[in-house]
Amino acid sequence: MKETIAIQFCKQNNKVPAKSLRTHCVSVRFNQDELKLLNKKRGGKSKGEWLRLASLDKLPLSVPAINIQAWKSLAEISQNLNNLICHLNTKSSGGELTKTEIFAIKRQISELRSCLTASDLPSGK
């Protein structure tokens, strides 16, 4: 049986702590479908590294691909909210909000909330 040693550089003496040495080798067999699934899940990691991380519950979280349409819609809504805030900041400090301004703010917040909580884009987009 071969011994495998993890190469790791420590700042002190360039020695690997004994507790960190990987000296045990485990062999696993897969059928064709299982191997395809493993290869799909492991991404750019080696099979051994991915299996080790999976067994230790240390796999990085999977981030889903960005929905480009939702991203564009959120950016547009965000820009509209920023424009409203800029407008409100330029008003005199004692000035009250008009009904139109209040309506616009409520509508933008409602669209943003809808976009953040639903899988579909806001209506009309």
**pLDDT tens, 11-46?**
556 677 888 888 899 999 999 999 999 999 998 999
111 Cβ partners below 8 Å, 6+ apart?
77, 122
d(CA 93, CA 87): 12
Strand blocks (E) in the chain? none
**Do 39 and 74 reside in the same domain of the chain?**
no
**Single residue among 62, 84, 109 that ends a domain in this structure:** 62
Q: What is the pTM of this model?
A: 0.41
Residue range 108-124: mean pLDDT, rounded: 66
**Single residue among 15, 43, 62 that ends a domain in this structure:** 62
DSSP code for 66: P
Residue 58 belongs to some domain of the structure: yes
**Single residue among 15, 33, 62 that ends a domain in this structure:** 62
CA-CA distances (angstroms) from residue 84 to 41, 54, 108?
45, 47, 9
Choice between 60 and 55, residue whose per-residue pLDDT is larger: 55
Residue 122 belongs to some domain of the structure: no
Range of the domain at 54: 1-62
Q: What total number of domains does the chain contain? A: 2
Q: Are the C-beta atoms of 23 and 5 separated by less than 8 Å?
A: yes
